[in-house]
Every structure is written in C-alpha cells, then in structure tokens.
Structure 1
C-alpha cells in the first residue's frame, strides 16, 4: 500500500509505503529530506521487510513485524519543517494508530518525532504494536527507561544502530584475518548512525581518518579525535570546526569517498555511490550504515574490482531490532546487556550472510536476500500471509 500526501499549507509532499504486514503491524522509520520520493520510500519499505525477517528468531519474545517506511520531501532545517512534520503525522494518524510503527530516520531525531506525535494527538509513534504486548505497561516502562540511559554523553538509543554497524565491520575484518589495530576507516555522515559507528570502531582500535558532514570532510592520517568531534556536533551531525586540532585538515565534501582507507562507511544519504564516483574508491569494504547508499550498477562495478559491499538490510538493522528486543523483553534497559545482545546477534547474522555469499559465489546482498526468501514463508505460515 502506498500513499502520497500534500501539505495544504506549504504544498510539500509526504509518502507512506506499507510493504508487508505481520500480525497486522509493520515497522519502519520516518525520514525527512529535500527531494524524498515515493520510489525511495518504497525501496526503504522493502528493505524494512527484509530487516525484520533477518532477525526472526522463533525462540525470542520479539517476533518480527512487516516492513514500512515514511518520507517527507522537506529539508529538516527549513523553518517550516516542524509544522510539516506535525501535519504529516496528523494525516497519517489512522495508519500509525493501527498498522505502522515508526521512529527517527534521516533528518529526524526520536525526540522530535515524539514531540510532533504528541502534538498530532498520537499516544506514541509505535502505538500500533501495543496490542501485541503481553504487558503493555511494563514494556513501555522498559523502553522509556532504555531511552533515558546515557552512555558517555550519548543516549543508548542513539548508540544501538552504530554498535551493530561496527560489529558488522569487525566481523568482516575477523573473517578476513585483518588486524583491527591500524585498520583505516572513512565515515560519511556524523549524525546518529555515523557518529555512533565511529565511536565503537575507534574504541575497538581502528583509526577513523576521515569524517564527512555537510560542511566538508575532516581528515587526519593518524586518526581523528572521535570523542572531541562527537562533543562538537549539532543536532544534524555537523561538527563545529572550532573543535578541530591544529593538524586536522579540511577537504571537500566528497573526499571521504576516495580516502586511503580499508573501510568506507556511508552513513548519511541514499544514492551516495554511483557508477561514476565508485571509480575513485580504493577501500576493501563498503559497509552500508545508511539506507541504499550504493546504487546497483555501482555495486556491480565494485564487485568486479574485488570490493565487498556489506548491505544496509543487514548492517543497519540493529537500530530497529534494539527497539523491539527492548520492548518485547528480550533485553532490559541496560547498556552492557544491550550491546552484548546486539554484538552477538549481528555477528551471527553477518557470519551467516558472508558464509552464504562465499558458498554461492555471489554478493553479500544476494546472500541476504536469499536468507530473507527462506524466512518470509516461514513467518507467513506461522502468522498468516495477510495478517
């Protein structure tokens, strides 16, 4: 199901695509960016169906939902953006109340979504899932407690996804026998996902030598001071250049792509790597922290050059899964427990996908799609094809 909404005040458009329902409910974030299209949202919704299926564990309390996505064609920095967001949520209220659970995505923080949802008259942006909970009050308290946890100045909710991305990188390195210490990384985007990924990788001993935001690319050949950059960023992930060290350098915005690194982490916009600019990439791995950052034709060319793309449907799936593991009670509101569960789950998933790709002589993306193809009928037989 796909919907397009036009804001009566500004004329801006918003979209909702529900790709699949499981137990009558779907899951997927809401993004806001200038130029967001229905096709983009549809692709993201399909990706959410896959992310949910990839984390299906018949023994877990969390049973995956269907996939969906929302998108608003508006720059989140626009002075009218918040009003557009509130009106979009009001228009989509029947779907959010019954079929679609949503939260932060590109351009939006969870705090902003929560504030706008309350103004739009919603109980919560995830209220559609409440009827599936054994003890709604306890589950909501558990999630609220988890969102209140601060880990060295950053909320646990902002770190969960980056922990999963980092573990994906580390799993690939370990399988290839590449030492973590000294492995060089370039990160595009320093918001929730990019910033958290950089923190976890730096703490694992890797060197973050390039970080790109809307102002350009910050580089240092011996590694950037990730914690200082995190402390100096604004709500949109833009780093205050006054916090840079004297020997940190600034390069153009696209310099992150051709940096002399082992690992590229696109963690910002979709469609960042195309058939043209992929030629400048020398990294061994591209790890998709953002949704759909590598275009299909670029991925084919990269594979032909021996560069491995770890796909978004696997790599950034821990953000969504952490919400549900916490809400359904597989984990509590404790950062050590959360990070341990994310790491073990993501390592098992990435290992499975990479082993299947190696066995079948295909790409990790094709292997992930194969895992999903195996699991969706199992989920459908258990819960119904149209429920």
Structure 2
C-alpha cells in the first residue's frame, strides 16, 4: 500500500503559532499550537498528562485541522456550521497531582489572549469539561469558546443552545461524554457492515473506560457486540462471554477506573496489556497516545483497530499491522464526532437533543468511513492515507472560500 503525499498547498508546513509556557510556581510546562486559522479561529481541546510535549501538541493540532476539513462539505450550502482551523493545548502534569488544578488555572491565565481571540477549546485527555469551565472562570474567561462568538448569527441563542446540550443526560451520562463514543462505535459498525459481519457475531476489546472508551463500549454493546475486555489503570477486565458494560460504567470513578467489587464471578482480572491480545474483531485504543508500537503489535489478533484515542498506533506499528491484514481506522476520522457535535450545536445545525445529536453523528461518521474506505480501495492505500488524501482535496477549497486569517 502507498501513502499519497499531502499537497504543500493543502496545509502549511509549520504551525502558525507555537508556544511553550513555564509555570512560575512549579516549573511545569504547557504548550499551545495553532496549526491553521480559518475565518480567524482555530478549534482544539486542552489535554493534561505527565510527559506531554510540544511535538505531541503540534501533531494533535495538525490532526484537528484535518478533522475540521473532513467534516466540511462544500456542497452543503444549507449548513450553518462552517469549519475552523486546527489547534491544541497540552500541559505536562499528571491530572491527579494535587498541584494540577492550580497549574491549569495559571496556564489558562497565561494563554487567555489566545482563547479570547483565536483558540476555541474544550476538554481532552486528563480533563473534564466541568473542570475546564471552572478553571476558565477562575482565570477570568467568559467561555472557552468565546473566540468563535463573532462568527455566530445570534450569540445569546447559540450559548444557550450549547449550555442546554451539555445539560442533557442519557441514562445518567452527559450527552457531551456520549457523542464521541457514538461516533467511534458507528465507525466500527460501518466497517463490520462493509465486511458483512453481523454485529451479534462480533466482539470488541476496549482500552480505557473514561469519557471516550466508556461511551464507545456502551454503544457497541447496545448494537449487539460482545465487549469481551476493557482496560483501565489497574489492568484488564475480561470475559469471553461478554462483560456487563452498564455495570462497569456505573462502577467507574471520575478517572474511568472500575471498582473491582462490581465484577461478576466469571469476569477475570488480567495484566494491563492483556486487552491487546484478546480474541476480538474490534480493538479500540481509547486511552493514551503511542500505545501500540512495533513490538506489542505482534500480540494483536483483531481484524480492525479503531482509534478512539489520539495517535495510539505508531507509524511503524501500523505498517506492520497492515502487512498482517489488520486495518487501522484512523483517529482523524474515528474520534472526530465530539468536535463536530460542538459546532453543529453551537451554530444551530442541530438542537440540544440527544436523538438529534446521535442521528447526525451516526450519519456523518458512516459517510466519512465509507468515503475513506472506498478511497483506500481505489488508491490501494491505507485508510489513514486515504483520509489524508481527502483532506488534501478539501483544504484548498476551504482556503479559497474562507482564507487562512479572515
């Protein structure tokens, strides 16, 4: 398989803005990268994890540019939601560290001018939206998405719509936590459908039971798949007959760690990396980046790897997996549902309604997966290369229509 190059005219070779902040209290560092501006604004979340680097944030910002382009339909003239550029923030700190919240507040104060003017952001790995919103208010910000307000037809109505959407719960879990997992699950279901695999004959193993992994496990289980393994920070929980996903979700703490007292007699506790080697058609890395490398990929027996996390499969591992006939559905498509939902809601393409959100997410993700896999077949390349080629087609159209800065 070949990897088509991205046209130099399609994306800048370097980010427009790249900065590193050092906390004067603890010495810890945070980063902000704006890869590209569209209509003067860029979108992307803020993550917090020990070891977060500028290179990591730079790569994630470029992925955000791609996600925005993938959800841009130049022919949909009725859509109110028009794409933005890509950005990302990252703080090198364990979110469980007692100093973490203070560092978060000081970081937001330091980058406040960017949030006010060009960077719209929300939660990412290690942070919840409630925590980000609380810290943002303490840092003197009106909202973490206030940079986009000048682009709205009715700012008051849009802010109310988004607030109402974040208040929606489905079976005790917030809609904002569920839409991303809905998109990941729909990506997996689309792959199963194209291969003619019935859902009730398919199994899945999920790494991470936090916001994205937990929601993905729920939607896969409700579609009829057996979720045979889930992994959290304590290890892997497995049951070849299928786990009780709802019971595990109910037994999570705020970091996605399952209380082992909720396990059934047939559920087994296994080592941390055991989720990789399960007999499961679908493997979902939904926790941290750089999880699957050239060494541990040899343990994988799944048919599809569905990247719910950002950058979980290293390039050399992906090449080896492809040679073994294992298909990686890339993060740039698979986990883009949450970002898209934010903007569909804020711009008024959908209302603050769960059924409307899930319906739009499913249609959009299925369309993207089908387009990507058809392109991969036509070009004899990997799905990731196909997604990059689609972005390369769309970015020049966006640049011509909206420009980089205006």
Instruction: Specify the TM-score bucket, using the shorter chain as the normaliser.
Output: over 0.9
Task: Tell me, yes or no, if structure 1 residue 383 matches structure 2 residue 399.
Answer: no
1:238 aligned to 257, 261, 285, which one?
257
Matches within 5 A, 1:220-369: 220-369=239-388
SS at match of 1:181: helix
Question: How far apart are residue 266 of structure 1 and its match?
Answer: 0.2
> What corresponds to 2:35 in structure 1?
19
Segments of 5+ residues of structure 2 without an aligned counterpart are 1-16
Aligned-partner Cα distance in 1 for 2:154–2:202: 45
Aligned-partner Cα distance in 1 for 2:220–2:305: 14
> What corresponds to 1:154 in structure 2?
173
Question: How far apart are residue 57 of structure 1 and its match?
Answer: 2.3
1:289-341 deviation line (CA, Å, top 9, x unaligned) = 00000000000000000000000000000010000000000000110111000
1:261-287 deviation line (CA, Å, top 9, x unaligned) = 111000000000000000110100000
Task: Tell me, yes or no, if structure 1 residue 47 matches structure 2 residue 63.
Answer: yes
> What corresponds to 2:50 in structure 1?
34
1:114 aligned to 96, 112, 133, which one?
133
Aligned-partner Cα distance in 2 for 1:104–1:312: 17
Aligned-partner Cα distance in 1 for 2:253–2:123: 16
Query: In 1, are the aligned partners of 2:218 and 2:246 still within 8 Å (CA)?
Result: yes
SS at match of 2:277: coil
Aligned-partner Cα distance in 2 for 1:341–1:218: 32
Aligned-partner Cα distance in 1 for 2:70–2:248: 33
SS at match of 2:311: coil
Aligned-partner Cα distance in 1 for 2:339–2:262: 32
SS at match of 2:115: helix
SS at match of 2:392: helix
TM-score, with structure 1 as normaliser: 0.99
SS at match of 2:30: strand
Aligned residues: 387
Segments of 5+ residues of structure 1 without an aligned counterpart are none
Question: How far apart are residue 247 of structure 1 and its match?
Answer: 1.4
Task: Tell me, yes or no, if structure 1 residue 186 matches structure 2 residue 205.
Answer: yes
Question: How far apart are residue 380 of structure 1 and its match?
Answer: 0.4
Question: How far apart are residue 114 of structure 1 and its match?
Answer: 0.3
Aligned-partner Cα distance in 2 for 1:344–1:379: 22
Aligned-partner Cα distance in 2 for 1:125–1:213: 29
Query: In 1, are the aligned partners of 2:277 and 2:301 still within 8 Å (CA)?
Result: yes
Aligned-partner Cα distance in 1 for 2:250–2:333: 29
SS at match of 1:257: helix
RMSD: 0.6
Aligned-partner Cα distance in 1 for 2:130–2:206: 24
Aligned-partner Cα distance in 2 for 1:226–1:289: 17
Question: How far apart are residue 386 of structure 1 and its match?
Answer: 3.5
1:57 aligned to 73, 76, 79, which one?
73
Which structure has more RCO (C-alpha within 8 Å, separation ≥ 6)?
2
> What corresponds to 1:200 in structure 2?
219
Task: Tell me, yes or no, if structure 1 residue 104 matches structure 2 residue 95.
Answer: no
Question: How far apart are residue 182 of structure 1 and its match?
Answer: 2.6
Question: How far apart are residue 384 of structure 1 and its match?
Answer: 1.2
Aligned-partner Cα distance in 1 for 2:381–2:114: 38
Question: How far apart are residue 246 of structure 1 and its match?
Answer: 1.5
Aligned-partner Cα distance in 1 for 2:158–2:223: 32
SS at match of 2:308: coil
Aligned-partner Cα distance in 2 for 1:57–1:96: 27
